[in-house]
Amino acid sequence: MSPRGLPGLERAWRALSPKAKEKFWTRDLRPGVNLRSTFLATDSTVRPDSRGTPYLSLKLVDKTGSVDARMWRLPSELLKGLDDPQYVYVEGHAHEYRGMLQVKIEHLNVLPKTEVEEEDYLPSTEKDRRTLAAELVEAGRNLEDAHMRELFERMVTDEELWEAFCSAPAAKGMHHARIGGLLEHSVSCLRIARTLAELYPVNRDLLFFGVIFHDVGKTRELSWESGSFAYTTPGRLQGHVVIGDRIVAAHAAQIPGFPEDLALQISHVMLSHQGELEYGSPEQPKTLEALLVNLVDNLDARAAMFLETTHNVSPGGWSHHENPLRRALYVPEPPASAAGRKTEGVAEGEAAE
């Protein structure tokens, strides 16, 4: 089923369609590669090395991902670091350091915004957003409860809301921090929930609605229009949990005869999905559906944190400990049998050529 008939998604897709960037992408980096290209520099800080010599530590970001970078022999204008974030032109080379891909920068120039296409530097999902959106739409239109189905329909036909939902990042930096990240996260949560619905005596409609829209408040908590991800004023003052509950409640209030008990259960799922007060939920999960939404959200978010942190880690290597999981993460070597099969496949391919 195509979501093309949903006006917000089609307009969002046209507005955010990637433009060709005739330069080097971070996804193309491999050890030994020399690069001359432009990036968005983030997480910039000047630190002393083991000999007390200052060096610049930063991330180089574009829409395909990010890579850690270091620069020594700093000119005077870089001794205090960079404003965060800034567009930069970089010359250097990629190498492997303690099992992680890293760029050693030889030359760096700060660029004005007028010299770049900002959408080239916002991380963006490489998955097909139309396909992801269609999966959610099909799930919503197959809900059994008529009130839940109408509520879902009102949410996805709210042009402004659905456009933002299909474009928003799922977070500023913790996980799925990319254009389309919220959509990607929601689809993953739905797929997990489908399996859980076969194992537990759960209200499937409430569970599926909850995993799809638990983070809908991110559409107003975050902004992504100015070349980077940032918190909005409502996001800072209210947070996505409260904002999301109000968005859903406003759409439910437009449906004549919407059951009060159902509205209360939905609200509890929305308000408790972070699980704990310290994470922004005013209540802990107290129904099976709310508990499962919280666990599914946490499972997908933490798995994404691991995968995103170890993206540039070689098998047998460790990540740095400065990541959302706050620990060094290990990527095991593949089993010997799998490595053997891979080697045999390469040999056969080379022989065929």
Q: What CATH code is carried by the domain that includes residue 98?
A: 2.40.50.140
Q: Buried (b) or exposed (e) across 247-260, using 16+ Cβ within 10 A?
A: bbeebbeebeebee
Residues 160 and 56 in one domain: no
232 in the same domain as 216: yes
Residue 10 is assigned to a structural domain of this protein: no
Same domain, 144 and 276: yes
Residue 282 belongs to domain spanning: 125-306
Q: What is the pLDDT of residue 15?
A: 42
Supply the pLDDT for residue 247.
Answer: 97
* Boundary (domain end) residue, out of 85, 120, 155: 120
Residues 156 and 111 in one domain: no
Flag whether 257 is in a domain.
yes
8 A C-beta contact, residue 74 and residue 41: no
pLDDT value of position 2: 40
> Within this chain, do residues 137 and 277 fall inside the same structural domain, yes or no?
yes
In a domain, 317, yes or no: no
- Rounded Cα gap, residues 3 and 10, in angstroms: 8
Task: Please tell me whether residues 113 and 150 are part of one structural domain.
Answer: no
| Average pLDDT estimate for 301-313 | 85
Q: How much is the pLDDT for 339?
A: 52
Residue with tokens 């001359």: 36
Task: Supply the CATH number for residue 296's domain.
Answer: 1.10.3210
What is the rounded average pLDDT for all residues in the chain? Answer: 85
How much is the average pLDDT of 24-36? 84
Whether pLDDT at 143 is above 60: yes
Structural domain contains residue 4: no
Domain boundary among 291, 306, 321: 306
Whether 298 maps to a domain, the answer reads yes
pLDDT for 338 equals 57
pLDDT at 226: 66
Claim to verify: residue 106 and residue 169 sit in the same structural domain: no
Q: If you ran DSSP here, which 8-state letter would residue 274 be given?
A: T
Model pLDDT, residue 344: 46
* Residue 131, pLDDT above cutoff 90: yes
Question: Of 72, 105, 120, which marks where a domain is finished?
Answer: 120
Residue 95 makes CB contacts below 8 A (sequence gap 6+) with 31, 32, 101, 102, 103, 104
One domain, residues 300 and 165: yes
Strands (E), the chain: 34-48, 54-62, 65-71, 86-97, 100-111, 222-223, 230-231
In this predicted structure, what is the pLDDT of residue 5? 44
In eight-state DSSP terms, residue 133 is H
Count of domains for the chain = 2
Q: pLDDT by residue (tens digit) across 156-202?
A: 999 999 999 999 998 877 777 888 999 999 999 999 999 999 999 99
Please tell me whether residue 280 adopts helix, strand or coil conformation. Answer: coil
Q: Are residues 210 and 292 in the same domain?
A: yes
Q: Check residue 19 and give its pLDDT.
A: 37
**Residue 272 included in any domain:** yes
36 φ/ψ angles, rounded to the nearest 5 degrees: -135, 105
Nearest to 319 by CA among 328, 311, 306: 328
Judge if 42 and 55 occupy the same domain: yes
Pair (101, 143) in one structural domain: no
> Could you tell me if residue 334 is inside a domain?
no
Q: Which residues pair with 97 in a beta bridge?
A: 100
Q: How confident is the model at residue 72 (pLDDT cuts 50, 70, 90)?
A: very high
Per residue in 212-265, pLDDT (tens digit) is 999 999 999 998 876 678 899 999 999 999 999 999 999 999 999 999 999 999
Contact (CB, 8 A) for 16 and 118: no
Q: Which two tokens stand for residue 197?
A: 């619905």
User: Are both 111 and 193 inside the same structural domain?
Assistant: no
User: Could you tell me if residue 200 is inside a domain?
Assistant: yes
